[in-house]
Amino acid sequence: MRIVLLGPPGAGKGSLAGLIKDMMGIVHISTGDMLREEMKKGTKLGLKIKGLVEKGALVPDEIVTELVEQKITRDPQLAKGYMFDGFPRTTQQAQELDRILVKVGKPLDFALYMEASLQMILTRLTGRRLCRQCGALFHLKNKPPQKVNVCDLCGGELYQRSDDNEQTIRKRMQVYETNTKLIIDYYAAQGKLRRVDGDKETIDVRDDLVTMLHEDKSYQNQRPSGS
């Protein structure tokens, strides 16, 4: 199954991706993570990306779609299916993705749109902490680690993303409002849009997801028998 996850920053797309990964065993690809990898390399491209990401601005479409195309055409892990998180973020990226997928003959199944209120988003993002070693997500209030600043899974150090401060969050929300909402219309017109409520508890989201995927015929056909 091939899915894109849509929704504002902090709507809970990361947790949703975790659920889907557990249910369907497909890989989760975040273009934000891919870009942060590129930033770490300290290349000229990495530095350019860093400047934009830290301002909360979008990285140019050409750069992002090039990275995505390489991933789709070269990474064997994606053969079983995948979900993109944080991509597409503009209508042009959505069109480019369709172009790539036509080329490889494997169209998208769904665009899952996760909605959430602004209040929920601010709370989620300012309290968010990540593990430096394994990337696990924690939250100061909603999912605190057992030991302060230490990952429950691997003992790694927790950190706060440099763009998870209030000023950058506001800017990211603005960028989201102007660009990304158009993509929702784009997938609605293709009949591929499905809505998930981001203000709900994880367990309820899981139930919604099960219902949705079971109602879908393409999922039924792909499901391994007996599950």
Given 6, 16, 26, 59, the residue binding ligand ADP (CB under 6 A): 59
- Near ligand ADP by CB under 6 A, which window of 49-57, 139-147, 186-194, 206-214? 49-57
Packing angle of the helix pair 118-127, 166-175 (nearest 10 deg): 130
What totals of helices (H) and strands (E) does the chain contain, helices first?
10, 8
Residue 224: DSSP 8-state: P
- Near ligand ADP by CB under 6 A, which window of 15-23, 82-90, 149-157, 202-210? 82-90
Whether residue 128 lies in the annotated active site: yes
- Kindly name the residue from 2, 71, 89, 194 that is annotated as catalytic: 89
Site string for ligand ADP, 89-128 (x = CB under 6 A): x---x-----------------------------------
What whole-number distance in Å separates Cα of residue 84 and Cα of residue 93? Answer: 12
- Residues linked to residue 138 through DSSP beta bridges, in sequence order: 129
CA distance between the termini of the chain: 16
Strand-strand pairing, 158-159 and 137-139: unpaired
58 contributes a contact to ligand ADP by CB under 6 A: yes
Half-sphere exposure of 152 (CA within 13 A, CB side): 9
User: Closest distance between ligand ADP and the C-beta of residue 56, in Å?
Assistant: 5
Contacts 24+ apart (CB under 8 A), 151-155: none
Q: 158 to 187, contacts with ligand ADP by CB under 6 A?
A: 163, 172
30 contributes a contact to ligand ADP by CB under 6 A: yes
What whole-number distance in Å separates Cα of residue 50 and Cα of residue 58? Answer: 11
104 contributes a contact to Zn ion by CB under 5 A: no
Given 24, 83, 86, 110, the residue binding ligand ADP (CB under 6 A): 86
Question: Could you tell me how many residues make up the chain?
Answer: 227
Q: 152 to 171, contacts with Zn ion by CB under 5 A?
A: 153-154, 156
Among Zn ion, ligand ADP, none, partner that 158 touches (CB below 5 to 8 angstroms by kind): none
Query: Contact 95/183 with Cβ under 8 angstroms?
Result: no
Q: Applying CB under 6 A, which residues contact ligand ADP? A: 9, 30-32, 35, 52-53, 56-59, 64, 86-87, 89, 93, 163, 172
